[in-house]
Structure 1
Amino acid sequence: MDDETKRHWALIRTLPGIEWSGRTRYAAAMFFYQRGQMDAETLEIYRICSRLDAEDPVSVLKSHHLGADWISRMETESDRP
């Protein structure tokens, strides 16, 4: 995994509740979307959550039964930087 990808994995895992964390996660989500690693539906959840710093987009995805592939990637240890 290259350094840029590692950096974006760290950003997309920014904890909820931190000021600007929603926007940080959304920026990282856009990186993965542009690389074809995230679908548009999942990106939309990150966009909606971008103004909600306390909201965890992965929890929203799970509650709406969306983004199963992405959730799996987030939970896979091998993808962690």
Structure 2
Amino acid sequence: MDDETKRHWALIRTPPGIEWSGRTRYAAAMFFYQRGEMNAETLEIYRICSRLDAEDPLSVLRSHHLGSEWISRMEAIPDRP
């Protein structure tokens, strides 16, 4: 995994509740979307959550039964790539 990808993995794992964390996660999500590693409906959840710093996009994806491939991938990647 290259340094840029590692950086974006760290950004997309920014914990909810931190100021600007929603926007940080969305920016990282866009990186993965542009590389074809995230589908549009999953990116849309990150977009919606981008203004809601306290909202966990993975929880939203689970509650709407969306993004199962992305959720699995997030769970499989170590916290510190």
Q: Which TM class, normalised by the smaller chain length?
A: over 0.9
* Corresponding letter in the other structure for 1:19: E
Runs (5+) with no aligned partner, structure 2: none
The alignment covers a number of residue pairs equal to 81
Looking at structure 2, the residues matched to 76 and 43 of structure 1 have their Cα atoms a distance apart, in angstroms, of: 19
1:59 deviation in Å? 0.3
Aligned to 1:24: 24
The 5 A counterparts of 1:37-56 are: 37-56=37-56
Distance 1:51 1:16 in 2: 11
Aligned to 2:15, what secondary structure does the other structure show?
coil
TM-score (norm 2): 0.96
Distance (whole Å) between structure 2 residues aligned to residue 46 and residue 5 of structure 1? 18
- Structure 1 equivalent of residue 33 of structure 2: 33
Q: 2 CA distance for matches of 1:11 and 1:79?
A: 11
Tell whether the 8 Å contact from 1:17 to 1:54 is kept in structure 2 after alignment.
Answer: yes
- After superposing on structure 2, the runs of 4+ consecutive aligned residues of structure 1 that deviate more than 6 Å are none
Give the letter for the 2:28 counterpart.
A
Q: Among all aligned residue pairs of Structure 1 and Structure 2, give the percentage whose two residues are the same amino acid.
A: 88
Give the aligned CA root-mean-square deviation in angstroms.
1.2
